[in-house]
Chain A
Amino acid sequence: AQSVTQPDIHITVSEGASLELRCNYSYGATPYLFWYVQSPGQGLQLLLKYFSGDTLVQGIKGFEAEFKRSQSSFNLRKPSVHWSDAAEYFCAVGGSTGFQKLVFGTGTRLLVSP
């Protein structure tokens, strides 16, 4: 069965410092991978997605993620965090069929300190 693990429940980063959020997945076929961000009280906004091709994908708000098949990982990175990045981040995995049903991780809450 497919699953997603986000091992860090909370992460605190100083403003201006770099960020890496971890995501490991289990999927029996070629995975489609996503990162979403959720601000307090809001829905989920898509940050970036990986379907195929270049394993380093760029997203909105200066985020990027790297797909590593050998490690079953899809970690999210940002070189310099801004206070407005404080939110909850969800990694998700789905299949390559036309119909998409995603499985989500439990999320990582990012806190940004001054």
Chain B
Amino acid sequence: DVKVTQSSRYLVKRTGEKVFLECVQDMDHENMFWYRQDPGLGLRLIYFSYDVKMKEKGDIPEGYSVSREKKERFSLILESASTNQTSMYLCASSGSGTSGNTIYFGEGSWLTVV
């Protein structure tokens, strides 16, 4: 089974803090994603990466950055956290080719910014 692990399930941070959300996958997947989930808005793509050191903006990249130094790890960074970034963050991964058409999700990280 594919396993996508988000190291922090629940975080509380102060406004202006730098926040790191870490994600690791164990299936040697090329593609990794960060989504944000808010009630009534569904899932919105923040950033994705299709290779090590490669990244692409998703639909809502403002206020976020990402890092992918190793294939299995994809980090989401909030440079200066704000209260409107309080949300659930979901990491996901997928392989390439036809097998790459299925995206597997982690269990999510609940971030509260106070």
Contact = CB atoms under 8 A, between A and B. Distances in A.
Contacts of A41: 108, 110
Contact of A34 (B50, B90, B102, B108): B102
A36 B106 CA distance: 13
Interface residues of B, number: 28
B43 A100 contact: no
B100 A100 contact: yes
Interface residues of A, number: 24
Given A43-B107, A43-B108, A100-B94, A51 B101 contact: yes
A106 B42 CA distance: 4
A102 interface: yes
B64 interface: no
Nearest to B44: A104
Contact of B98 (A34, A44, A51, A102): A51
A44 B105 contact: yes
A105 B42 contact: yes
A101 B101 contact: no
- Which residue of B43, B58, B107, B110 has the most chain A CB atoms within 10 A of its CB atom? B43
A91 B36 CA distance: 16
Interface string A78-110: 000000000000100010101111101111000
B108 A42 contact: yes
Interface of A: 9, 32, 34, 36, 41-46, 49, 51, 90, 94, 96, 98-102, 104-107
